[in-house]
Chains A and B, each alone.
Chain A
Amino acid sequence: MSADLAEGESRLLYPPPGLPPGGSGAPPAGPADEDLRVVAARHPGRWLATGVVAVLLAMVVSSLVTNDRWEWDVVARYLTWPSILEGAWATVRLTVTASIVGFALGTVLALMRLSRSPLLQGVSWAYTWVFRSVPLLLQLLLWYNLAYLYPVLSLGIPFGPEFLFFDTLDLIDKFWAAILGLGLSQAAYSAEIVRAGILGVDQGQHEAAASLGLPRHRQVRRIILPQAMRSIVPTAVNEVIGLLKGTSIVYVLAYGELFYIVSVIYGRNGRVVPLLIVAAIWYLALTTLITVVQYYVERHYAKGALRTLPPTPLQRARWEAQVGWARLTGAPVPDGVPPAFAARVRVGRWVAPRTDRGTA
């Protein structure tokens, strides 16, 4: 690296053709060009900022450690308490089920909105309007009280005979009331995300799929949606994370998800703060998990959008180790490592390429 710079510097110092060496501002005499020393720029501001942030961090850590009101021993004890684990699992189940309901229905709503039928468009628009406007808390309580409006649910022909009957209270327990509330309102938001994704796919892709005579459902499923996913996934994951935390609102139904369990326990033993920390740690852990999944899902849909996919952190670590070992022992670099990657590894550190897109 420094050798490159020195070379660049010295090249700049060459006088333009036609001028005598040493003319027009060049130093009259001194060390030969190749002996010029490179001095890195100094950044006092950066050092100052680093110092300030380091002190602030130290203050935070010290207060976390020395203030015994955090009661870290209580936190540790309850972190893997059986009922807390059950609560965390209930939160996961709520999040997964509501996400599936939300995105499945959202995709249908998005396709309805993009269809050419005014009725389908109108229904989709009205759905989004209603479910985005009414607060989630209110929706949850309404669904939970569905049995008051309709004690018996039946399947049949409108204004005609009915065939199948269900007792509403049996069908819609706390879990399903929560799923209806979370999933149906999620669908309203997902619909817009999916619609934006579909609109983001180049018009030429729609035309190419149509000109090949592909059936409509195949055009959507094979050609359009996979390409829309690239812009859908980041926002959709945002929504899933929002939903994960949003499940805590279900405590109003006294359903045993993480936050409800935590509030029950601190109601009994009065250890409010440590138990809130327990819940916070679990939400943090679950969100981290989702973020990791997001990375791999995004990578999957990036196929074809990038010329070459960057290595995953695991691949990178493995390749670095292999190349580093090969350099140390003088052995050849294993076949599994891309040559372009091996060439960029310097002293065991991977240097990112300047850009992912080459020129045609």
Chain B
Amino acid sequence: MSGGLLEIRGLHKSFGLLEALRGVDLTVRPGEVAAIIGPSGSGKSTLLRAINHLEKVDRGFVSLDGELIGYARRGSTLRELTEREILRRRTRIGFVFQNFNLFPHLTVLENVVEAPIYAQGRPRAEAEAEARELLARVGLADRADARPRQLSGGQQQRVAIARALALRPAVVLFDEPTSALDPELVDEVLQVIKELAGTGTTLVVVTHEVAFAREVADTVVFMDEGVVIEQGPPEQVLDRPANPRTKAFLEKVL
């Protein structure tokens, strides 16, 4: 799996009067792991959801390997694509939700093979073989026939990661992947993400786990009030923050 180049330019998004994103610029290089940290309400999750067009933006754009997500550019206007085309482009981006959002009525294996077969049109046998491989990679080879509610939170999140990877995405987005987990289950999920970090897939992780960001991320991005305040290597942003707001936030969470 080769990673994609993710470029975000001048992203604006309002919910009614609330401006969630106020001009976000960010570049994530192929294979890079970017950790986005920041206080709640700073726009981290909105940014992530805007990247794969779960939220429509008001201004600005996101592109993956030069291809715009959700829009086609004609001169100075961005035209929203048809739903079919958006869905096709989305299969290059994996998304892991805070609350897993596994399909409870399907088995673990059915959860993982659904998109490769019905979104990408790959043959079932191939999709199932690859799904079993992915499940083995996240340590759940023996739970392929279980249903999500029969699994622990940590196991469910690992299945969700396998489901996202089954699309062979160029980028995987993680929206606070461990926030809904009991403390003792956090490590098993972080371990899976850590292993993924070495494989060349571009990862964008919104997280509260500062220690994890320090260990795994190539770039730490600090967001507040809808803009990127500061970004750089973890030792710079986390240990010698240039901005007083970053400093104040880190003092609170550490």
Contact = CB atoms under 8 A, between A and B. Distances in A.
Interface of A: 202, 204-205, 207-216, 218, 222-223, 226-227, 301, 303-307, 360
B149 A307 contact: yes
A208 B118 contact: no
B118 A207 contact: no
A211 B99 contact: no
Interface stretch (B22-30, B84-92, B131-139, B190-198): B84-92
Interface stretch (B59-67, B102-110, B221-229, B231-239): B102-110
A207 B115 contact: no
B54 A211 contact: yes
13 contacts: A202-B101, A204-B99, A207-B54, A210-B87, A211-B97, A212-B163, A212-B167, A215-B119, A216-B84, A303-B147, A304-B106, A304-B147, A304-B149
B54 A212 contact: no
A214 B101 contact: no
Contact of A211 (B84, B90, B148): B90
Contacts, number: 80
Contacts of B147: 303-304
B174 interface: no
Contact of A214 (B118, B148, B153, B182): B118
A214 B52 contact: no
Contact of B152 (A202, A303, A360): A360
B114 interface: yes
Interface bin, chain B:
20 to 34
Contacts of B148: 304
A305 B119 contact: no
Nearest to A202: B101
Contact of A226 (B97, B105, B118): B105
A25 B101 CA distance: 56
A204 B102 CA distance: 9
B97 A204 contact: yes
Contact of B91 (A213, A218, A223): A213
B146 to A, nearest CB: 10
A268 B163 CA distance: 69
A214 B115 CA distance: 6
A212 B149 contact: no
B179 interface: no
Contacts of A218: 118-119
A81 B152 CA distance: 59
A208 B89 CA distance: 15
A214 B119 CA distance: 5
Contacts of B95: 208, 211
A213 B88 contact: yes
A214 B103 CA distance: 13
B150 interface: yes
Contacts of A204: 97, 99, 101
A215 B118 contact: yes
B87 A215 contact: yes
A100 to B, nearest CB: 23
Nearest to A302: B105
Nearest to A204: B101
Contact of B105 (A207, A211, A214, A304): A304
Interface string B106-128: 10000000110011100000000
Interface string B58-100: 0000000000000000000000000110011111010101010
A306 B102 CA distance: 15
B105 A303 contact: yes
Contacts of B102: 208
B90 to A, nearest CB: 4
Given A204-B97, A226-B105, A227-B104, A212 B182 contact: no
A305 B54 contact: no
Contacts of A210: 54, 87, 90
Contacts of B163: 212
A207 B83 CA distance: 14
A212 B114 contact: yes
Given A210-B54, A212-B91, A212-B163, A222 B114 contact: yes
Interface in B15-59: 52, 54
Nearest to A116: B83
Given A204-B97, A204-B101, A205-B103, A214 B152 contact: no
Contacts of A306: 149
Given A213-B167, A216-B84, A304-B149, 19 more contacts: A204-B97, A210-B54, A211-B52, A211-B54, A211-B90, A211-B95, A212-B91, A212-B119, A212-B167, A214-B114, A214-B118, A223-B103, A226-B105, A227-B104, A227-B105, A303-B105, A304-B105, A305-B149, A360-B152
Given A216-B83, A304-B105, A304-B148, A360 B153 contact: yes
A343 B52 CA distance: 51
A156 B102 CA distance: 47
A226 B107 CA distance: 14
Given A214-B119, A216-B83, A360-B153, A208 B97 contact: yes
